[in-house]
Chain A
Amino acid sequence: MFVTNLAILVLAGFVGYAVISKVPNTLHTPLMSGTNAIHGIVVVGGILVLGLSDHLSVFNKVLLVIAIIFGTINVVGGFLVTDRMLEMFKTKPAPEKRDEGES
């Protein structure tokens, strides 16, 4: 299982590199806040540990609830703020030569 996951990890790194290399400079801030939101998926990790462990101490429960709060802030805030930013880019009258300088 671990080796399979490691393979997925390496492949995902390459996929990420390929996809993100194509993002133009103009969109680097939304890219950063969007990927920021995506790493908020750690909230899933927090939920799994909190939800699937039987006898957690109060202290550990507190840690995990904070982790879930943090992760949720990360996800919700990240996607919303990215959406706000991208809307500003969208409302622009789209000029023809948009590919300019996207190298």
Chain B
Amino acid sequence: MSVPLATAFFHKADFIHILYIVAFSMFIYGLSGLTGPRTAVRGNRIAAGGMGVALLATFLYPSMGNWGLIVFGMVIGTIIGVPAARNVKMTAMPQMVALFNGVGGGAVALIAWAEFNESGGYANLKLTFVIPSLFAAIVGSISFWGSNVAFGKLQEILPGRPIGAGKAQQPINLILLVIAVACAIAIASGQTSGLYMGTLLVAAALLGLFVVLPIGGADMPVVISLLNAFTGLSAAATGLALNNTALIVAGMLVGASGSILTRLMAEAMNRSIPSIVAGGFGGGGAVEGAAGAGEHAGSVRSTTAADAAIQMAYARQVVIVPGYGMAVAQAQHAVKELATALEKRGVEVKYAIHPVAGRMPGHMNVLLAEADVPYDQLKEMDDINPEFARTDVALVIGANDVTNPAANTNPQSPIYGMPILNVNEAKSVIVLKRSMNPGFAGIENELYYEPMTSMLFGDAKASVSEITAELAAV
């Protein structure tokens, strides 16, 4: 039955549009599979299948030409994309996601630009085409350049600390936004000069650079989520312009996902999204932190791997608190080995995962999943916080700001009010840290000066392995 039906539709636009509907249904169905680890792999593959259907539908357009260039572009993209995705380390996932996000935004901006040139400056086109295209050009360009800066920071090509013009930054950004929007209005009201489009793209590009450059590493989860939402919305706008339902729905799904994640991340840091985008977190904090450092200096107690091993060997419950430091040191497998060794001795091991630990939403979960940590041991903040009082040893591995009690106690602290893991309620705390340098946010962590805290300095992976080795000797 289905074959004659298909042929009846085959050369009609309807059939293509029906395929697009199939494609976006598969996106939605696939994403709903991500609600549980068991169905997630299948969900992702269904979504990928949806992408295949959308591409197929596109190829069916009767007057489709330029096949050579299309195939060429797709082959080159595949040649670049496949090895990148295959070889990237799980610890480098945030920058990979930033990069993939950026190229998506870049594609959107390029399409809008090419259409502008091709139509002689959107001449004689309806506003229902022009406005979404201009939106796509601005937002796509912001997303491309912003994501590339985020990539550079995460890859440590650019310094992770905030870079910017300080107080002048916000007025500059505002001016850039006004320029971009003004150009868009000029184009929409009939200007066809390429100068307007060029200025629009450059202003949006600078805006993308200037918005992300001043943002500190610790705020990265929010920024990546926000840029993700931006690219999604710009894709949806392209869909509106091209009258393509698959693009509209797919773009909005991404927009919704990015927005939800942005909100969750911002809530987990008790900061408003505008204040993060305005930047300056590390700037203000660093000054106050430096002042705080003077008062505390010298009262830190350091420990050895052997002592740490003895403490944990006789503990009833150990809670491991991973942070970005674990990712940097690639210590996740060593951590899992330590946990296994402890469990063999009858110690209960749990992991406390702060929503913004690491550099993107769920970063720690992915790393620990890679090391085969069962997910029932991964506890979210609200579940683990009541447990710290019953915890003998809290092992903090490269986590800093998310454990800083100043967030609860010191109204002067820049992170005051941020929900934290109440590590300081544990009977003893062992902090693995490279040195006494404050974290990305540049804020002194009072936890390190508390009497129950001891510090084990050194590379996190080496320290964890050492503890495991010592544990065998206890």
Contact = CB atoms under 8 A, between A and B. Distances in A.
Contacts of B103: 70-71, 73-74
A71 B109 CA distance: 11
B114 A36 contact: no
Contacts of B126: 2
Nearest to A17: B256
Q: Which of A6, A56, A57, A67 has the most CB of B within 10 A?
A: A67
Contacts of B41: 83, 86-87, 89-90
A79 to B, nearest CB: 4
A64 B81 contact: no
Interface string A47-91: 111111110110111011111111111111111111111111111
B114 A63 contact: yes
B266 interface: no
A36 B70 CA distance: 22
B362 A50 contact: no
A41 B245 CA distance: 11
A27 B114 contact: no
Contacts of B118: 49, 53, 56-57, 60
Contact of B104 (A2, A21, A36): A36
Q: Which of B231, B245, B366, B374 has the most CB of A within 10 A?
A: B366
A75 B256 contact: no
Contact of B245 (A5, A39, A45, A49): A5
Interface residues of A, number: 90
Interface in B1-57: 24, 27-28, 30-32, 34-38, 40-41, 43-45, 47-48, 51, 54-55
B366 A29 contact: yes
A67 B84 CA distance: 18
A40 B34 CA distance: 18
Given A53-B118, A60-B114, A71-B77, A20 B100 contact: no
Contact of B32 (A19, A63, A66): A19
B157 interface: no
Nearest to A99: B36
B15 to A, nearest CB: 16
B366 A41 contact: no
Given A5-B239, A59-B117, A70-B110, A31 B77 contact: no
Contact of A32 (B224, B240, B250): B224
A54 B118 CA distance: 10
Contact of A70 (B77, B82, B90, B370): B77
A7 B54 CA distance: 20
Contacts of B168: none
Contact of B37 (A29, A75, A90): A90
A54 B34 CA distance: 42
A28 B77 CA distance: 26
B73 interface: yes
A48 to B, nearest CB: 6
A82 B44 contact: yes
B240 A2 contact: yes
B108 A42 contact: yes
Contacts of A2: 126, 128, 240
B110 A43 contact: no
B40 A86 contact: yes
Nearest to B127: A2
A44 to B, nearest CB: 5
B114 to A, nearest CB: 4
B250 A45 contact: no
A32 B261 contact: yes
A67 B114 contact: yes
20 contacts: A2-B128, A9-B249, A16-B257, A27-B34, A33-B93, A35-B258, A38-B47, A39-B228, A39-B231, A45-B111, A48-B61, A50-B73, A51-B58, A52-B64, A70-B106, A73-B100, A74-B101, A86-B37, A89-B375, A98-B38
Closest CB pairs A-B (n = 9): A72-B77, A16-B256, A68-B73, A28-B362, A77-B81, A28-B361, A12-B252, A80-B85, A29-B362
Interface of A: 1-2, 5-6, 8-9, 12-13, 15-17, 19-54, 56-57, 59-61, 63-98, 100-101
Interface of B: 24, 27-28, 30-32, 34-38, 40-41, 43-45, 47-48, 51, 54-55, 58-59, 61, 63-67, 69-70, 72-74, 76-78, 80-82, 84-86, 88, 90, 93, 96-97, 100-101, 103-104, 106-108, 110-111, 113-115, 117-118, 126, 128, 224-225, 228, 231-232, 235-236, 238-240, 242-261, 264, 353, 355, 360-363, 365-366, 369-370, 372, 374-376, 378-380, 382-383
